[in-house]
Structure 1
Amino acid sequence: MNARRHSGGKSRKAAALLLSAAMVSLSVLSACGKSEETGGAEASASPQANSSASAEPAANTMPIVKDGSVTLTFMGNENFYAAKSYKQNLPVWQEIEKRTGVKTIWDVTPSSQYVKVAGVRVAAAKDLPDIMLVPQDPVKTAEDGLIIPLDGLIDKHAPNIKKFFKENPILHNRLKAPDGKLYFISSITDGAAYTDPIGLLLRKDWLEKLDLQEPRTLDEWYAVLKAFKDRDPNGNGKPDEIPLSFANHGMNGLTMFASALNLHFFYSQGFYPDKNGKIQFEWADPRAKELLVWLNKLYSEGLIDPEFLTKKDDALVGNISRDMVGSSVNFLNQADRYNAAQKQSGSDKASWMLALPPTGKDSKGYYEKYGPFSGYFAISSTSKNPEVAIKWLDYIYASEEGSRLVHFGIEGTSYNMVNGQPEFTDFVKKNPEGLDAVSALRSIGAYPTVPWIRSQKGFTSLQPQALLKLNPVLAEQAKRIETSLVDAVPFGFASPKENEEVSTTVSADFKTYLDETLVKFVTGKEPLDNFDKFTAKLQSMGLAKLLELKQKQYDRATKK
């Protein structure tokens, strides 16, 4: 996973946070910044890396090279199924090597250590691989000449990637640096966002026990959470219920209720275009005060976990297994995990569901989708085989044959073709070693940490749907909220010049002040009568300039 890393002190780090380029899944960070001067990145690219407007390239023939005549080094995260390392030449990658003729050296590190380990190498500009998951600001990495522009390579040698970007111009624009060039590709997650959305998880069995309807409005949510606290739904005679508890989200978890007021905080962070396409900062909107008043009411009455800022996943699941938690914020797939945790502890009747999003007078309710990007993958300027590298990426990333391998694994082992479509075998559905479906796929090298696409349509959409079909209950819940999912606002990358403008015109403490004051409003440490002073303070700290720069990022991402 990539992370922001800047060397210009507090103000520059604050600028990078404020101008965060791409909204991401909970497990991935994005990066920003690049100047007009590309220096070594341009100079080190071979002639075929320059942009051109040539006709559609012919499909790549396999193998890409004679068997074993070219070896590429890939630097990235180790397999998330720790028992099987990519270094073991797993079956999927054996098959890819067989079909492409390209050998792969896996220079991989556990994800928890990757940013630190790879960051040292990239910072030193030494011992770079052919292809890497960029461990720091990817556009700054391009500016430093460590990765090359891909536009010309894609135009001439990657017909499948070219086709995907042509069909998805907004995604293409969002991945471009401010100079208009493409230096990296990313795993695409927008298809998975439909099959495994994030939202408010709720105890359906507690609703039924207390004869309550699924809440929709904020008033109804308050009534349900109040009943969870006061009416002993776990039946142990103790006032130990925690109506709302979640892990690893902090203040952001509480903003899941903002859709009732037509506000966008969870992924868009409050920066959202009005009907005329002008970016506004919704935390300065009077509707934000209305949300904060409601959240303060919940907190003061003990309906929100007092540890909401610091709760970790193991502590949350521990409380869930003790039948204490009534609602949470998480991905749909975690409903099964919560049910299993409670079943193991003897709560056989526990039934977690994904609630419909909160609605209000002027809002039908929605959940923002996560993604659409996860990690940034680039070809290094020291690669001796950039054409082979882009052809290899084209195969695994966007070709139907290569995608099927990384999505579904090995035909006859993890899937079979049925009526022209891949269907999982019992190796995935009822794994003989007791592995869940994703772990089973990862054990043979599928469901990878390399760049891959899980989209909303076409052959790259099949795997998320196939996984969801393994659990009809979750499939029904995902279908139920499909029309309630909306995109987070798209922003392009900020340039170093824009970051510099922020660092000199926007207070370095802007984000800290914002985050801390919002928490104080919720917990009652700051009177909500001071909301106008809060918005005035944001203005004095440079909000207008920040909005001006956010507008530029938005316009870049959405241009046709």
Structure 2
Amino acid sequence: MKKLKKLCFFTFLIVSVVLAGCQNNKSNAVEDGTLTIWSTWMTPSPTVKSYEESPFHQNLEKESGVKLKWQFPTEGSDWSQAFNLMLSEKQLPDLIYYGWMGVADKYINEGAIRDLTKDIEEKAPNYWKFLNEHPEFDRAMKTDDGKYYMFGFFREQPYQASYMGPMIRQDWLEEQNLSMPENIADWTKTIEIFHEKYGAQLTFQTGWRMSPGFAGAFDAHGSFDTRYFIDKNGQVQLAQAQPEWRNYMAWFNDLYKKNLIDPDFATIDDQGVKTKASQDKTGATIMNAGTLLAMNTDATTNETGAEWVGAPYPNQADGTKSASIFTEDLYNAQGIAISTSLPEEELDEAFKFLDWAYTEEGMQYWNFGKEGESWEMVDGQPTFTDLITENKLGKDEAIALYTGNWLSGQGVQLSRFIEQRLDEPSFNASNSWSDGQEEAIDSIFPAAVSMTSEERKEASNLENTINTYVKEHALKFVTGEESLDKFDDFVKELNNQGLERLLEIRQAAYERYLKR
């Protein structure tokens, strides 16, 4: 009996120690006031081994005055799986950077992240001021029932959200005495001549690069992947169910029959497009400004003479602007939330760090790095030093090493940063692509729209079937495997698969968003 009591005592002692350790284990064993932060973005440059060797991450601690321990998903891992695995831990990181938009209410209700509403005005005055000055951003940063849930990432100027569009070989245009194409008839003629003279074809990948692609020239709003838009009456519609989309597919089908479309279009990826560009197998495509820069850099290095420039989205046949261009909301779906694992007494430190990004000092650091090192003030403008512009790693890699908002980060991505990151052709391309953006942006289905858990479940089931059906038939319409005479049957089948119900769900969610 004594042995049994002694065994029970030691068992109790061990369990007590373990439990005490768990209770004292502040967010993954950091006890010295350091905040842990888990992020899918903001990873260190691959030129360093870890964030401890990253100039941006280390200087961020010094400049903000807050100690940080960074955690990132394993390289090459699926971010959604990594996120779910992280959420399964009993002790969450203090700060979590993720795509909360549209699903924040779920994670607040489940007790994973904090509702920031009662603290945000007092503890984050700079962020609060910023949201009040930008009502469209304020609406996006809260749930349908008015709960603030994250510190967002925003773009300063509209053109920054139109960073993708048509690209064309300027040197070929000049050699063939062609003007920059303005409408779809011009594009067709140019593609035909490029094929005749150079053996080149229109090359593109069918994913988000072609969303909407050239659709706006036909008053359509999507290409191969399902795309929802807001029509002129404020109603949510599916682009692929509209007669204008049928006309768009008919144009593609005509090009395909004439061998003017790259036969690999259904499977090619970004690297494949760049490879074909370097081999003079394409003289027209749709990609982003960063790719345009890379393709011109490659052409200069290899002395091929290729000169890629951005081309405006083609006008409609009657001369009016394209009905739909690639543009995003000026806010990102990702941002930093505060987890419920953060002790109440350390909440002020978290707010201090997050709010700092919306100060002038913080914005400059996130965009340009440390003053006197990677940038200095020249004629009243933050200007990158030779450490960035003449770095042996290359300018883009140096930007990734020393700054934070080069892709997606925190606070506001400043226009001045974009001006310096891109070369002149790439910067001009972004401005060209954004022409007509004010009209097109009104048709975007906002990323900040959120559904209830019941709506999400029902919509997800419907979308899984509809998305596959749309993509398969879009490809068939282009290749002629499916006749466009059967377009009405295609739409009928979409409705049989629940499209009308899906649009009802999205419409209800959109109207709640407008009432925030």
Letter in structure 1 aligned against 2:241: A
Equivalent position of 1:412 in the other structure: 372
Say if 2:414 is the partner of 1:490: no
Say if 2:338 is the partner of 1:359: no
Q: Give 1:388 shift.
A: 1.7
Distance 1:355 1:524, change over 3 A: same
Deviations 1:46-105 (A, max 9, x none): xxxxxxxxxxxxxxxxxxxxxx96210011136252122553154444444334432111
Equivalent position of 2:421 in the other structure: 467
Distance 1:73 1:443, change over 3 A: same
Say if 2:468 is the partner of 1:512: yes
Distance 1:266 1:159, change over 3 A: farther
Deviations 1:530-549 (A, max 9, x none): 00111111122222221112
Deviations 1:176-197 (A, max 9, x none): 3333312223322464853862
Equivalent position of 2:8 in the other structure: none
Instruction: Say if 2:237 and 2:503, in contact at 8 Å, map to a contact too.
Output: yes
Equivalent position of 1:40 in the other structure: none
Instruction: Say if 1:195 and 1:475, in contact at 8 Å, map to a contact too.
Output: no
Whole-angstrom CA distance in 1 between matches of 2:161 and 2:506: 30
Distance 1:516 1:255, change over 3 A: same
Secondary structure of 1:367 counterpart:
coil
Of Structure 1 and Structure 2, which has the larger fraction of its residues in helix?
2
Whole-angstrom CA distance in 2 between matches of 1:483 and 1:94: 39
Q: Mapping of 1:267-306 within 5 angstroms? A: 269-306=226-263
Equivalent position of 1:12 in the other structure: none
Say if 2:301 is the partner of 1:344: yes
Instruction: Say if 2:203 and 2:273, in contact at 8 Å, map to a contact too.
Output: yes
Q: Mapping of 1:215-364 within 5 angstroms? A: 215-232=181-198, 241-247=199-205, 249-250=206-207, 253=210, 255-265=212-222, 269-347=226-304, 349-361=305-317, 363-364=320-321
Whole-angstrom CA distance in 2 between matches of 1:201 and 1:424: 28
Equivalent position of 1:393 in the other structure: 354
Q: Give 1:317 shift.
A: 2.1
Q: Mapping of 1:11-410 within 5 angstroms? A: 70-77=33-40, 79=43, 81-85=45-49, 87-88=51-52, 90-110=54-74, 112-113=76-77, 115=79, 118-134=82-98, 138-189=104-155, 191=157, 193-194=159-160, 197-232=163-198, 241-247=199-205, 249-250=206-207, 253=210, 255-265=212-222, 269-347=226-304, 349-361=305-317, 363-365=320-322, 367-371=325-329, 372-384=331-343, 385-396=346-357, 398-410=358-370
Q: Using the TM superposition, name which of 189-198 and 102-111 deviates more.
A: 189-198
Instruction: Say if 2:211 and 2:225, in contact at 8 Å, map to a contact too.
Output: no
Q: Give 1:392 shift.
A: 0.7
Secondary structure of 2:335 counterpart:
strand
Q: Give 1:407 shift.
A: 0.7
Distance 1:134 1:484, change over 3 A: same
Letter in structure 2 aligned against 1:118: A
Instruction: Say if 1:521 and 1:527, in contact at 8 Å, map to a contact too.
Output: yes
Q: Give 1:496 shift.
A: 0.6
Aligned-residue identity in percent: 28
Whole-angstrom CA distance in 1 between matches of 2:390 and 2:460: 54
Instruction: Say if 1:415 and 1:424, in contact at 8 Å, map to a contact too.
Output: yes
Secondary structure of 2:216 counterpart:
helix
Secondary structure of 2:214 counterpart:
helix
Letter in structure 2 aligned against 1:394: D
Gaps of 5+ in 1: 1-67, 233-240
Whole-angstrom CA distance in 1 between matches of 2:253 and 2:420: 42
Distance 1:267 1:91, change over 3 A: farther
Distance 1:114 1:139, change over 3 A: farther
Distance 1:152 1:251, change over 3 A: closer
Whole-angstrom CA distance in 2 between matches of 1:541 and 1:116: 27
Distance 1:381 1:119, change over 3 A: same
Whole-angstrom CA distance in 2 between matches of 1:472 and 1:208: 19
Deviations 1:8-61 (A, max 9, x none): xxxxxxxxxxxxxxxxxxxxxxxxxxxxxxxxxxxxxxxxxxxxxxxxxxxxxx
Which structure would you say has the larger Rg? 2
Equivalent position of 2:401 in the other structure: 443
Secondary structure of 1:202 counterpart:
strand
C-alpha RMSD of the superposition: 2.8
Instruction: Say if 1:196 and 1:332, in contact at 8 Å, map to a contact too.
Output: no
Q: Give 1:122 shift.
A: 3.1
Instruction: Say if 1:357 and 1:484, in contact at 8 Å, map to a contact too.
Output: no
Whole-angstrom CA distance in 2 between matches of 1:546 and 1:383: 38
Deviations 1:477-500 (A, max 9, x none): 434444333423315111112124
Q: Using the TM superposition, name which of 494-503 and 514-523 deviates more.
A: 494-503
Equivalent position of 2:488 in the other structure: 532
Letter in structure 1 aligned against 2:95: I
Instruction: Say if 1:242 and 1:325, in contact at 8 Å, map to a contact too.
Output: yes
- Which of 405, 424, 428 lines up with 2:388 in the alignment? 428
Instruction: Say if 2:220 and 2:239, in contact at 8 Å, map to a contact too.
Output: yes
Whole-angstrom CA distance in 1 between matches of 2:209 and 2:59: 43
Whole-angstrom CA distance in 2 between matches of 1:288 and 1:405: 45
Secondary structure of 2:181 counterpart:
coil
Q: Using the TM superposition, name which of 376-385 and 359-368 deviates more.
A: 359-368
Secondary structure of 2:337 counterpart:
strand
TM-score under structure 1 length normalisation: 0.77
Q: Give 1:128 shift.
A: 1.1
Whole-angstrom CA distance in 1 between matches of 2:264 and 2:53: 44
Deviations 1:179-228 (A, max 9, x none): 33122233224648538620011111111112222212222211111111
Matched residue pairs, number?
473
Whole-angstrom CA distance in 2 between matches of 1:106 and 1:399: 22
Q: Give 1:313 shift.
A: 2.7
- Which of 497, 502, 509 lines up with 1:546 in the alignment? 502
Deviations 1:264-319 (A, max 9, x none): 22699542222221222332221111111111111121111111121123332222
Distance 1:187 1:84, change over 3 A: farther
Secondary structure of 1:518 counterpart:
helix
Instruction: Say if 2:144 and 2:513, in contact at 8 Å, map to a contact too.
Output: no
Distance 1:489 1:120, change over 3 A: closer
Q: Give 1:443 shift.
A: 1.8
Q: Give 1:527 shift.
A: 0.7
Deviations 1:229-262 (A, max 9, x none): 1223xxxxxxxx3321134x44862741111122
Instruction: Say if 1:256 and 1:265, in contact at 8 Å, map to a contact too.
Output: yes
Gaps of 5+ in 2: 1-30
Deviations 1:124-175 (A, max 9, x none): 1323110012378554333321111122221221111112211222233233
Instruction: Say if 2:44 and 2:57, in contact at 8 Å, map to a contact too.
Output: no
Distance 1:271 1:452, change over 3 A: same
Secondary structure of 1:256 counterpart:
coil
Letter in structure 2 aligned against 1:405: Y
Distance 1:386 1:95, change over 3 A: same
